[in-house]
């Protein structure tokens, strides 16, 4: 008995400009070109995995904020929640004491100022991509300098040590 198979239409061959890989390849080439022009405070190229630029104005997050500041070490960009990988800032919502809440509010206000002061870049570094809450772990740069470093130098945050420590 002879089997019949469906006849498949011949696929048309795509030209270079119709390739689905064209845009991602050009984006990667642009990122590679940008990385070579960075300042001294940018992460080393070996640790740099991805980079995206943000041109929005930041404010305090509301229920519908797509690009905003949640607290002193967490932001939202185009709907994606990002935990700043290099710092720990005081809590604002679940503060253990009044001084932690006040310091967390100051860190949040200052982070808004920092993010609105220049070109914002978000850099993936290291092997961990997300934390246990589903937030993307990233270094946030403003004009090539870590926004976390600025908060630490002003006493509004501390370098991330791998574990939370009390602020009270």
Catalytic residue among 76, 135, 154, 165: 135
Contact 68, 62 (CB under 8 A): yes
Burial of 109 (0-12, 13-18, 19+ CB in 10 A): middle
Catalytic residue among 91, 100, 110, 138: 91
Catalytic residue among 83, 103, 106, 138: 83
Q: Determine whether 135 is an active site residue.
A: yes
Q: Facing residues of 142 across strands?
A: 120, 145
Q: Determine whether 44 is an active site residue.
A: no
Q: Are strands 80-84 and 136-142 parallel, antiparallel or unpaired?
A: parallel
Angstrom CA distances, 72 to 61, 114, 118, 126, stand at 12, 11, 18, 21
Q: Determine whether 91 is an active site residue.
A: yes
Contact 77, 67 (CB under 8 A): yes
Question: Which active-site residues does the annotation give?
Answer: 83, 91, 135
């Amino acid at each position: 008995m002879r089997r019949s198979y469906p006849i498949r239409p011949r696929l048309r061959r795509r030209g270079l400009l119709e390739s689905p890989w064209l845009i991602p390849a050009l984006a990667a080439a642009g990122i590679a070109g940008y990385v070579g022009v960075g300042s001294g405070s940018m992460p080393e190229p070996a640790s740099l995995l991805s980079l995206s630029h943000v041109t929005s104005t930041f404010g305090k997050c509301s229920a519908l904020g797509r690009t905003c500041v949640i607290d002193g070490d967490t932001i939202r960009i185009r709907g994606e929640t990002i935990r700043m990988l290099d710092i720990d800032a005081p809590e604002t919502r679940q503060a253990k004491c009044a001084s932690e809440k006040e310091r967390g509010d100051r860190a949040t206000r200052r982070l808004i100022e920092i993010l609105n002061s220049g070109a914002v870049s978000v850099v993936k570094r290291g092997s961990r991509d997300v934390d246990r809450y589903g937030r993307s772990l990233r270094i946030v740069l403003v004009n090539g300098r870590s926004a976390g470093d600025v908060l630490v130098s002003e006493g509004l945050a501390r370098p991330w040590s791998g574990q939370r420590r009390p602020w009270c």
